[in-house]
Amino acid sequence: MVLHDYLRRQYLAAMGIRAWERRTRHAAHPGPGALENCGFPPGGTVRAEDQRPSIQPAAGCGQPAVSGMDWGALEQAVSSCTKCRLHLERTRTVFGTGNRHARWVFIGEAPGSEEDRQGEPFVGRAGQLLNAMLFATGLAREEVYIANVLKCRPPNNRDPQPDEVQQCEPYLVRQIELVQPRMIVALGRHAAHSLLRTELALGKLRGQQLNYHDIPLVVTYHPAYLLRNPADKRKAWEDLRLARRLVEAAP
């Protein structure tokens, strides 16, 4: 236990956060007042005027029926996918990794160069920081499930394009359906926008108890952003503490 506490403090220090002690195991949900300032009604549902139309696969494109696939079929479908231009330059598809019965799912936007080379999400410097964030929250990487909105790397790490998200999104939706987590953490605005169907700024999505098909969802910064803006690590830590409280307070 002493070693575990020491390691946790080391990871907190890497995030620029002072060590903290959990006061109670069962914390209350954030009150309605915490949501009002961000334009969300109690419960964290994104308002209709803030939402985008649902993204639906194009008809007649020969897309396999992703809904209903088991893990093996889904992974095979991703590995052989040629539905958008990204397959032309990829080294490997990046399906997802971790516990397929996890309570927590962490979702980023797209693979980077190291992920494209290894075929696993969050294995570069951003992945090292994500590992630190997980450990500081009391989680091990092998306990959670980690995936991206896109399964192939965009050229030069550019932002995902709407048509790419449209073609890739059914894979992510099915992954979430198979895992059936108790908490989703959206890492960065692209993941948040894709899951919540909104264009609201990240700052208005953070700090709220949102939901994705009745699964609690918390939005925070992408680890790659935190590497460039370490001053915001404390805000990310607050987001993860909120997610932890919601998981522990759930029945």
The reported pLDDT for the residue numbered 34 is 32
pLDDT digits (tens, 9 = 90+) for 25-74: 333 333 333 323 333 333 444 543 454 433 333 333 345 589 899 999 99
Query: Rounded mean pLDDT of the chain?
Result: 82
With a cut of 60, say whether residue 214 has pLDDT above it. Answer: yes
pLDDT digits (tens, 9 = 90+) for 108-142: 999 999 999 999 999 989 999 999 999 999 999 99
Domain ranges of the chain: 2-15+70-249
The reported pLDDT for the residue numbered 157 is 87
Nearest-angstrom CA–CA distance, 120 and 146: 9
pLDDT digits (tens, 9 = 90+) for 128-181: 999 999 999 999 999 999 999 999 999 988 999 999 999 999 999 999 999 999
With a cut of 90, say whether residue 220 has pLDDT above it. Answer: yes
The reported pLDDT for the residue numbered 54 is 39
The reported pLDDT for the residue numbered 10 is 52
With a cut of 60, say whether residue 190 has pLDDT above it. Answer: yes
Q: What is the CATH number of domain 2-15+70-249?
A: 3.40.470.10
163's CB contacts (< 8 A; 6+ apart) are: 84
The reported pLDDT for the residue numbered 13 is 57
Judged by DSSP in three states, 113 sits in helix
With a cut of 70, say whether residue 208 has pLDDT above it. Answer: yes
- Torsion angle, CA of 63/64/66/68, rounded to 10 degrees? 150
CB 68 within 8 A of CB 236: no
